[in-house]
Amino acid sequence: MKFMKLGTRLDTFYTEEATRSVVSDIPNDLVIQISNINYLLHQLQFSLLPKCGLLQRLCADSDDSSTVTIQLHDIPGGEAAFELCAKYCYGITINLSAHNFVSAFCAAKFLRMTEAVEKGNFVLKLEAFFNSCILITNSFQENHLSLQVTWSYTYTRTGFNKQQQLVPKDWWTEDISDLDIDLFRCIIVAIKSTHMLPPQLIGEALHVYACRWLPDTTKITRPESSVSQTDEVTDKHRKILEIIVNKIPSDKGSVSVGFLLRLLSIANYLGASTVTKTELIRRSSLQLEEATVSDLLFPSHSSSNQYYYDIDMVAAVLESFLLLWRRTSPAPTENTQFMRSIRKIGKLVDSYLQAVATDINLPVSKVLSVAEALPDIARKDHDDLYRAINIYLKKHPDLSKADKKRLCRNLDCQKLSPEVRTHAVKNERLPLRTVVQVLFFEQEKGSRENDHRMPTQELLLSRGKQIPIVRDELSKLQLGSYEQTIRSDGIPRTPAPSESSTRDDQKLKRPDKKTPLEAGKKGGERTNRGEGI
């Protein structure tokens, strides 16, 4: 095993009861208390203060003639790690190896034994040892020992081939995941400072640690039905979360968007700081294009929400993405990367809405907050949006007429495929006005296919409506002048319906005189409702 030897003096530390002292003719003037041990040391005579920035600051206000007492109970590595640092300052011989490197390095960083305090300080020597010995030893293992070692991986990567000939480059991430968060933080800082490992490996270490120590919010029940965590556990989890977020490399793609979204869900659950949540929302929005629907499905942990899915979290990330997209995108064209980006997000959002629409407690306002956030160009067609609306209407049969109108107001019938339009005109869950819009568009197109479409009158009779009422609806949609429905490119466009223009779903009595079609149908047979979209 590689080791590094520092110092030349004999070890003069000795113990008397709970006190560690240094054999010296000079009286001690500094007492360091760690746990139950008192170290009787010297401020200046043996370079202790000149090498330790923290001790310099703590002793700055003391009287030169008095003995200073300092408590360092929270030093990483405890008294053993502190003693290594103290012996280095006294010039006493110490041996460093992979067994004590981590604790020594963390303690040295804690004491601020850096180049800013003194040239050639302890931290610099430890980093040199890490780069020249420990990392090279790992490289040797990759080339020569891979077949003799069984690697216990991996937490976050699927499809890892255990028969591969090389050691996995993230072999160390599981080992350091057992450490205390302060030690773990020091190691990540040290690794990042070497600039020898790619950001993805550092991100992998953070991912493994999060899996090891943070709660899985996908398996947590609502606060009112579960045993709440103690404040101590919550504070510990919150500290771990904020350190992990703070140490994520700035490089895009150093961690996956799924991991970022999971951290955001945990932040909401733990009540993390606004700064932490905002950073996670920003980072998630930068990689939102990489997300899948499953990456977005997290339960809501707010006791005030009756619905299951945390749709507010998704809405916040989507808003952040659109803010950046509008700020950076030029005038959109069909072939630009910006257009492909927003179209991909449109497909993702509509697929997400289909998944959450099954929640029977999800209010219409939450669906609309996400559906209406997208600009028109985000949807090349409205088939997926129609499917989401249809699922929501099916799962919410008691929805009011007003809410049905609100839900369908963003549906552009001209952007529906022929198959979906066929389904829509037979869908009794839709408001009548939406069906009329579909039929009006079909008439404007001059569509007269009889193989898989029903005649207009027959379709409306199947819904139990009167033909004169439908004709009146069509005439209102035309708004008198055809110029009012022509866009600048010459394509007819269905005018947007007014919320208060008609009472389209009002049940009316049939007239005494039947039309020939009604007579032929013996009062009007109802067609089967379409369920296949």
- Residue 222: per-residue pLDDT: 53
Percent share of the chain, pLDDT over 70: 72
The span from the CA of 419 to the CA of 386, in Å, is 12
- Which whole number is the average pLDDT over 27-48? 87
Local structure of residue 465 (DSSP, 8 states): -
Residue 153, pLDDT above cutoff 70: no
Q: For residue range 100-141, what is the model confidence (pLDDT) as tens digits?
A: 888 888 899 999 999 999 998 999 998 888 777 665 556 444
* Residue 262 clears pLDDT 50, i.e. is over it: yes
Q: Which two structure tokens, joined as six digits, stand for 367?
A: 């669906």
For the chain, what is the mean pLDDT? 78
When pLDDT is cut at 50, 70 and 90, the band that residue 220 belongs to is low
Q: Given 3-state DSSP classes, what are the helix, strand and coil percentages for the chain, each rounded to the nearest 5? A: 50, 5, 40
Given a cut of 90, whether residue 369 has pLDDT beyond it is yes
Number of continuous H segments (helices) and E segments (strands) in the chain: 23, 7
Question: Looking at residue 146, what is its pLDDT?
Answer: 40
pLDDT the model gives residue 228: 53
Asked whether the predicted pLDDT for residue 525 surpasses 80, the reply is no
Query: Phi/psi class of residue 519: alpha, beta or left (left: φ > 0; alpha: ψ in -120 to 50)?
Result: alpha
pLDDT at 242: 95
Q: In the predicted model, is pLDDT for residue 314 greater than 50? A: yes
pTM above 0.85, yes or no: no
Give yes or no for residue 89 having a pLDDT over 70.
Answer: yes
Local confidence band at 482 (pLDDT 50, 70, 90 cut-offs) = very low
What pLDDT shows up at residue 38? 92
Does residue 197 or residue 277 have the better pLDDT?
A: 277
Looking up tokens 């700035």, which residue turns up? 250
Residue 427, phi then psi, degrees to nearest 5: -90, 105
**Helix residue ranges per DSSP H, 111-198:** 122-129, 135-140, 171-176, 181-194
* pLDDT score, position 254: 93
Paired sense of beta strands 37-41 and 30-34, if any = antiparallel
The Cα 461–Cα 447 span in angstroms is 19
Q: Name the residue with higher pLDDT: 456 or 352.
A: 352
Burial (Cβ within 10 Å: 0-12, 13-18, ≥19) of residue 455: exposed
- Mean pLDDT calculated for residue range 259-264: 97
Residue 223 has pLDDT above 70, yes or no: no
Q: Which tokens in the block code for residue 174?
A: 């599981």
Longest dimension (CA), the chain: 122
pLDDT tens for each residue of 401-439: 999 999 999 899 889 998 998 899 888 999 988 888 888
Residues 6+ apart with CB under 8 A from 499: 405
510 pLDDT exceeds 70?
Answer: no
Sheet hosting strand 13-16, strand order edge to edge: 13-16, 19-22, 37-41, 30-34, 68-71
Q: Is the pLDDT of residue 64 over 70?
A: no
Angle at 174 between CA 170 and CA 179, to 5 degrees: 130
pLDDT in tens, 44-58: 777 888 999 999 888
CA atoms of 528 and 523, how far apart (whole Å): 16
